[in-house]
Structure 1
Amino acid sequence: MKNWKNAVADICMMSVLLPLGAQKSDAASKYVELEMQWEDGRTTHIETLHKDGVTYGSLFSLGSKAGLLWGMENDNMAVLWRDQKRIVVNMGSRIAEVNGREVNMGRELVRYISHLYVPIRFLATALDGEVANRDTKTGKVTVTGLNNYTDTFYGSMMGYSYMIRAAKGDLEITNPYTGQKNSIPLGIKDITVNTHDLTLNFKWTPKNLLIVTIEHSNRKTGDYDLYALVFKNQGLIRKSVAQGLMEQHEILKSDGTIQLIDNKNIRIIDDGSGNVLDIIAR
């Protein structure tokens, strides 16, 4: 009776960890190495599942590495998504959806040790890559050209959150005390982490002005666009945009002034007051 109760408990636990309807793997399954080469320059390695002559990749693990959000929409549907990508797989079915288009995965997804696995050839294609090589001796699979779909960039200072969505290219600031959101138009275009880097940096001046800089740089050409915002008591008092810079620009100078650069001029700003002291043509 005790053994029977333990078996029932094990079955209940597995039903919590693993959604019903997916093909359950057996002891013949094994792990092989998967090398992933990304368009953003990364190369990552993970172990993946090989079963019945087919190599499978962890749906949620690879999805998160691609910058996708993941979850279960219901007991039978797993989803990866961002603004530019939506991948849907269904338990017990070979038919998936990629951006609304039906795709035959070739095999049903497999559940194994609380993970969901799908054929790696399908998942590589869904992430805009391809299986480039398979080592017949070791089973190692190399996938190239994988895209990163990260479309939201975050920063924080003094509890305030700063967010840029690729779809808009503007800066959204959220007040931690009131929840109020304030949007500052920037119009940053062509934000894609496969070819560009986007970073947010914060610096306080000696007289308590906050300088927020945003650099949007092209990894191939090395040039970058610089967005500089100056805040006083959380209110925006100055903004500048300079495009196509090739050299680093120091905004907070050793003489205590702030130098904001745009496409035509450099404005010398007084620390504390934020007043314009001088304008120098570039």
Structure 2
Amino acid sequence: MKHWKLAAAAIFLISVLLPMGAQESHAASKYVVLELQWEDGRTSRIKTLKKDGVTYGSFYSLGNMARLHSGMEQDNTVVLKSDQKRIAIRMGSSIAEVDGRKVDMGREPVRYMSHLYVPIRFLAAALDGEVTNRDAKTGKVTVTGLNNYTDIFYGGGKMGYSYTIRAAKGDLEITNAYTNQKTTIPLGMKDINANTHNLTQNFNWTPKGLLIVTIEYTNRETKEYDLYTLIFKNQGLIRKSIAHGLMERHETLKPDGTIQLIDDHNIRMIEDESGNVLNVFAR
């Protein structure tokens, strides 16, 4: 009786974990190498499923690499999405939806060994890439041109505040961790492209307690970057500067404690603690 109870519990658990319409594959399957080349410079190699002559890609794994968020919707629909991309598949159906368009995947999704797979040719195209090579001997498949859809860049938390930049708007969003109150600072950045650029946020404290936030948006190919510098006093913004198309490195906090702000036309020397402008020089 005890064994029967354990078996019944196991069957119930499997029925909960597998969505209706998702069939666990028991057909002859094997793993082959999948090489992924991303537009942001990454290259990754993973094992992927080949079944009945069709190569599949892990829906969740590739979605995560593409910086998409996964979730379930009604009618057994699984989605990958960001502000820039939405891919939806329905268990038991070969028809998917990519950015509002119906697309025939050719095969239904397959659940195998706790992974959810869809045809790699479909998934590559949905991520703006393509299958460029198949090795007839080894079965290895190479996919190129895959996109990175990062929609939020996290700068981390400082003194009870978190700093984020949303790709679609390009503004700095500061959130109080205790009250959840948000402050938005316009930066003038638009359509941040994680495939071609790096976006980094750095935080420095001056000797007299001012917080300097520097944001660099760098073209990976040319190394040219835009520099956004913000100075805060008691969590209030007191100075801001924006310089475009820089090539040389810029030292914001000088050894003597003064702060150097650079924009497209001038360099301002700022006094620590007060934030007052000491000198202005033309670039």
Q: TM-score when scaled to structure 1? A: 0.97
Residue 137 of structure 2 is matched in structure 1 by 137
1:228 — aligned with what?
A: 229
The residue correspondences of 1:117-128 to structure 2 (distance < 5 A) are 117-128=117-128
What count of residue pairs does the alignment treat as equivalent? 282
SS of corresponding position for 1:136 = coil
Amino acid at match of 2:221: K
Relative distance call for 1:190 and 1:218 in structure 2 (3 A) is: farther
Distance 1:23 1:131 in 2: 26
Give the conservation status (yes or no) of the 8 Å contact 1:132–1:144. yes
* CA-to-aligned-CA distance 1:132-169 (integer Å, 9 cap, x gap): 11112221111000000001111121221111111111
**Kept after mapping to 2: 8 A contact 1:18/1:115:** no
Following superposition of structure 1 onto structure 2, how do residues 236-251 of structure 1 map, counting pairs within 5 Å? 236-251=237-252
Alpha carbons 2:75, 2:90 under 8 Å: kept: no
> What letter corresponds to residue 131 of structure 1 in structure 2?
V
CA–CA distance in structure 2, aligned partners of residues 103 and 189 of structure 1:
30
Structure 2 CA distance for aligned equivalents of residues 55 and 159 of structure 1: 48
- Distance in 2 (CA, whole Å) between partners of 1:134 and 1:9 is 43
CA RMSD in angstroms comes to 1.2
Match of 1:100 in 2: 100
Aligned to 2:56: 56
Alpha-carbon deviations, 1:97-122, whole Å to 9, x = none? 00010000000000112221101110
Percent identity over the alignment is: 73
User: Is the aligned partner of 1:65 residue 2:74?
Assistant: no
- Name the SS for the 1:263 alignment partner: coil
> Runs in 1 of length 4+ with deviation above 4 angstroms?
none
Distance in 2 between residues matched to 1:84 and 1:39, nearest whole Å: 15
How far the C-alpha of 1:5 sits from its partner, in A, is 3.2
Which sections of structure 1, spanning at least 5 residues, go unmatched? none
Give the alignment of 1:162-201 within 5 angstroms: 162-201=163-202
Deviates more, 1:7-16 or 1:55-64: 7-16
Secondary structure of 1:11's match? helix
How far 1:9 moved relative to its partner?
A: 2.3
| Cα separation, partners in 2 of 1:111 and 1:75, compared to 1, 3 Å | farther
Q: SS at the partner of 1:10?
A: helix
Q: 1: CA distance between counterparts of 2:49 and 2:73?
A: 24
C-alpha distance in 2, partners of 1:120/1:186?
39
Question: Deviation string for 1:69-115 (max 9, x for gaps)?
Answer: 00111361100001111000001000000001000000000011222
Helix, strand or coil at the partner of 2:63: helix
Pick which of 7-16 and 88-97 moved more.
7-16
Offset at residue 2 of structure 1 (A): 4.4
User: How much has 1:3 moved relative to structure 2?
Assistant: 4.3
Unaligned 5+ segments in structure 2 are none
Which residue matches 2:18? Answer: 18
Q: Aligned to 1:102, what secondary structure does the other structure show? A: strand
For residue 217 of structure 1, what is the amino acid of its counterpart?
Answer: T
**What is the CA distance between 1:4 and its match in structure 2?**
3.6
Report the 3-state secondary structure (helix = DSSP H, G, I; strand = E; otherwise coil) of the residue aligned with 2:255: coil
| CA–CA distance in structure 1, aligned partners of residues 58 and 243 of structure 2 | 42
Name the TM-score, length of structure 2 as normaliser.
0.96
Q: How far apart, CA to CA, are the structure 1 residues paired with 2:3 and 2:50?
A: 32
Match of 1:42 in 2: 42
Q: 1:124, CA displacement in angstroms?
A: 0.3
